[in-house]
Chain A
Amino acid sequence: MAAAAAKIIVVGGGLAGLSAVIKIAEAGGSVDLFSIVPVKRSHSVCAQGGINAAKNLKGEGDTTAAHFDDTIYGGDFLANQTPVKGMCEAAPAIIDLLDRMGVPFNRTPEGLLDFRRFGGTLYHRTAFAGATTGQQLLYALDEQVRRYESEGKVTKYEGWEFLSAVLDGAGVCRGICAMNLRDMSVRVFDADAIILATGGNGAIFGKSTNSVVCTGSAQSALYQQGAYYANGEFIQVHPTCIPGEDKLRLMSESARGEGGRVWVPRKLNDPRAPKSIPEADRWYFLEEWYPKYGNLVPRDVATRAIHKVVYEHELGIDGQPMVYLDLTHIDRATLNRKLEGILEIYEKFVGDDPRDVPMKIFPGMHYTMGGLWVDFNQMTNIPGVFAAGEAEYNYHGANRLGANSLLSCIYGGFQAGPNALRYAKGLTSAPANGYGASECKRQEEINGRLLSSSGTENPFKLWRELGEVMTKNVTVIRYNKALADTDEKIVELLERFRNINLSDKSQWANTSFAFTRQLYNMLQLGRVVTQGAQLRDESRGAHYKPDFPDRDDERFLKTTKASFAPDADEPRFTMEAVDTQYIPPRPRRYDAVK
């Protein structure tokens, strides 16, 4: 039997990873926490608007059942219903816990939690801390983990990157192989179970709202080791982003939750300043097309509407792919109290004050609904490898509702932690073997090949090409021909990768070398996303094909499962039935009450 103190490795220190760590440490397990960046700097920090829970503190009769229904409906019935039901039922207690941890949630005059509205629901269900809710939640969990760290229950390995899982002869996980990002050394760490909580894969699309570390590299490495990757084709394009040189910055849905209105001038190239354009000459297209939900339709619906206005009606502002998101009708004090964090971002990075001037926004890659396939206990098909948070596929189906991501991260971590511990305690001890040593050798050989490669291809340029083709063909609107071209392009990039040239071959804090390793994994995962999209000849949630405009439950009410075929060096696909035992699928439309 395994030792009394089961050893768990958690990879990733965002909300999901930290949630898992807290549960394991509290239950007496020993945890090693690995993260590329200091965990307090993880991407969860970027989440802005809030976290959903049907606390029903506004006298609206909200229930966890309604939250469950909104989430399933919003995800176009692709999510397995059992885990989503569990998440929605657990949400109110999770909010209470975060409240006890000291998260500075906005309050009502009576001192209770305040709630705002978000997309895809008619209830005030979103608790929030200004417009920096993700930051506040991450800090609260980070503080609890720091407390466990100071008590010796958690060991942090910050500045280490996961390279692969160590699998024994029976294919059971026995630890991880990781690289120290300072001295670039590769080491094996033993564990009875591991939890991957490594976030989304925005970097595959070049520019996105994701942080620099969100490459999907860890998930891809595991997929190449035999883990299933599920629903890879479901990528959320957020309707309101600020285009930038280095990334797309998110303008939170809370801007619309607090009354922000999306519009364009009815006339192309209207020369007037936006504020002096009279109501009659403005087109509030979301409010016109979706009178019930208005500006708060789900993200996929809003994104396609903006796309249509810009490219079919050709009414983008000044002929550019941009529309207005307008808050100027709301008084400054209210805006400052509820949205200051995001308004500041716009001000800093664009230079205009959104309290005075309507913001110019456009859709951008935002969230990875798909991810590592996990069972209802958060375990992948590799025994001992668990996953939680954006890195796995469980909770959002074909489209994620706003403010459900923070919830799914924490709930997923809270499930994965105890389940991993239970698994570890039931594990028979590892046979004495050299599996760790041989995995370490395999990784060192990869490093050696890269560092000695003397080709001509710059990894950052290859990445740019990948991002451009993925953004063009695999986001809002998808055609099979373009998808086939994209896959072909990625194959070409993989071929050129063999001819890579690392201008920096040093062995100290070599960030471009680490990036190049990630790039390879991005390319492999890019094929999973692209081919998955090609196979799914229907439109569902965020996945939209004009040639197949309807949802096709008969053929595609199924989870896409990709597995890596090492000899062919490409993905193979199977389809798995979706758990729909609680809510029978019905057509999803937001132009009327559901």
Chain B
Amino acid sequence: MATTTAPLDTRSPAKLKTVRIEIKRQASPDAEPRWEKFDLPLRTGMNAISAMMEIAANPVTADGRETTPIAYDANCLEEVCGSCAMRINGKARMACSALIDKVQENGVVRLEPLSKMPVVRDLSVDRSVLFENLKRVKAWVPLDGSYDLGSGPRITPQQQEEAYPLSRCISCTICMEVCPQFNEETGFVGAATIAQAKLFNEHPTGRVLKEERLHALMGDGGIQECGYAQNCVNACPKMLPLTKAISDVSRDVMIQAVKDVFTR
């Protein structure tokens, strides 16, 4: 009786036999960070998440000390929920799609929390600032109601193809992590929020709030803080056209500022 539905992956094993995982741990927001090292047998298809699942089942460090499972954010493991962003060998990326044999350097993979969000514990961070920013720019279509009012506006395939990539933002905050301007001094909202402002400004119904969105992006912490380093667009795991969104919205903000001068 053969009823296995989850076959083990048996593709040829890589050259490495084991991998060293180094993890920056922090018991609480105020605790001092410390590093722990783990040696794990390397399996094909292993990613940063399955490595930590392995550690949870056997929480013993490389030098044989018993420890605790790692705290980290994760949910879908398909790079679409946006939960598991962290720094892996120095690079901000999603942990679920970080295949160990691809990201390892000399047999070592270093996992650290994102550096610009408050640490909750270990690799788990608080990224609620992004959701607050989305409120600030009213990133929604203001419906009259959820009752049946017939079909929506006609939208050309070209318009859909413009909107869709922006709508794939997974709120991982990697664009904010890699941005030199995203820090406490500037209070910059970051690329993700600006891209969502563009998405809704260009929707036939959503554009009714365009002026409010542009005003929300003026002044301190607004779009002017962008230094065009282009790190965001290079780091985005979903390859959103972030710099184009920033330059488009930036232009709209300037036009709005000029309009404001003449209407006030």
Contact = CB atoms under 8 A, between A and B. Distances in A.
A binds B: yes
B194 to A, nearest CB: 16
Contacts, number: 231
Given A23-B146, A503-B66, A503-B69, A476 B151 contact: no
Contact of A46 (B76, B155, B159): B76
Interface stretch (A146-154, A291-299, A429-437, A442-450): A146-154
Interface string B9-28: 11000000000000000011
Contacts of A139: 167
A401 interface: no
Contacts of A341: 80, 168
A504 B131 CA distance: 31
Interface in B29-53: 43, 45-47, 49-50, 53
A211 interface: yes
Given A245-B9, A504-B68, A102 B164 contact: no
B20 to A, nearest CB: 18
B260 interface: no
A418 to B, nearest CB: 11
Given A26-B146, A109-B157, A46 B7 contact: no
Given A211-B75, A461-B57, A46 B135 contact: no
A43 B151 contact: no
Contact of A362 (B5, B76, B79, B152): B5
Given A41-B82, A109-B157, A143-B141, A512 B68 contact: yes
Contact of A132 (B8, B73, B121, B168): B168
Given A100-B143, A144-B143, A348 B97 contact: yes
Interface in B181-219: 200, 203, 205-206
A182 interface: yes
A146 B66 contact: no
Contacts of A146: 131, 134-135, 139-140
B151 A96 contact: yes
B205 A321 contact: no
Contacts of A504: 59, 68-69
B120 interface: yes
A111 B45 CA distance: 42
Contacts of A58: none
B171 A40 contact: yes
Given A102-B206, A144-B140, A243-B9, A348 B79 contact: yes
A364 B120 CA distance: 34
A472 B3 contact: yes
Prevailing SS type, chain A contact patch: mixed
Given A212-B74, A244-B45, A247-B77, A110 B154 contact: yes
A322 interface: yes
A246 B53 contact: yes
A345 B79 CA distance: 8
B156 to A, nearest CB: 5
B63 interface: no
Contacts of A110: 154
Nearest to A238: B5
Given A102-B203, A472-B3, A473-B3, A182 B154 contact: no
B180 interface: no
A244 B81 CA distance: 18
B80 A97 contact: no
Prevailing SS type, chain B contact patch: loop
Nearest to A505: B68
A26 B143 CA distance: 11
Given A100-B152, A512-B68, A243 B57 contact: no
Interface string A478-518: 01001000000000000000000001101011111000000
A414 B145 CA distance: 13
Contacts of B53: 246, 460
Contact of B47 (A246, A364, A464, A471): A246
Contacts of A582: none
B106 interface: no
A163 interface: no
B250 interface: no
- Interface core residue of A40, A144, A475 (most chain B CB under 10 Å): A40
- Interface core residue of B3, B6, B66 (most chain A CB under 10 Å): B6
B160 A345 contact: no
- Interface core residue of B4, B81, B150, B203 (most chain A CB under 10 Å): B81
Nearest to A182: B120
B80 A129 contact: no
A475 B4 CA distance: 9
Contacts of B69: 460, 503-504, 511-512
A220 interface: no
**List of 6 A-B pairs having minimum Cβ-Cβ separation, nearest first:** A111-B154, A99-B152, A504-B68, A143-B140, A509-B121, A246-B50
15 contacts: A38-B127, A45-B76, A102-B203, A109-B157, A110-B154, A111-B155, A143-B139, A146-B139, A246-B50, A307-B3, A349-B97, A362-B7, A365-B5, A503-B66, A504-B59
Given A132-B168, A146-B131, A482-B1, 20 more contacts: A37-B73, A41-B83, A42-B75, A43-B75, A96-B149, A100-B152, A102-B141, A110-B154, A136-B167, A143-B140, A147-B140, A150-B138, A207-B6, A243-B8, A320-B10, A362-B7, A458-B58, A461-B57, A503-B68, A511-B71
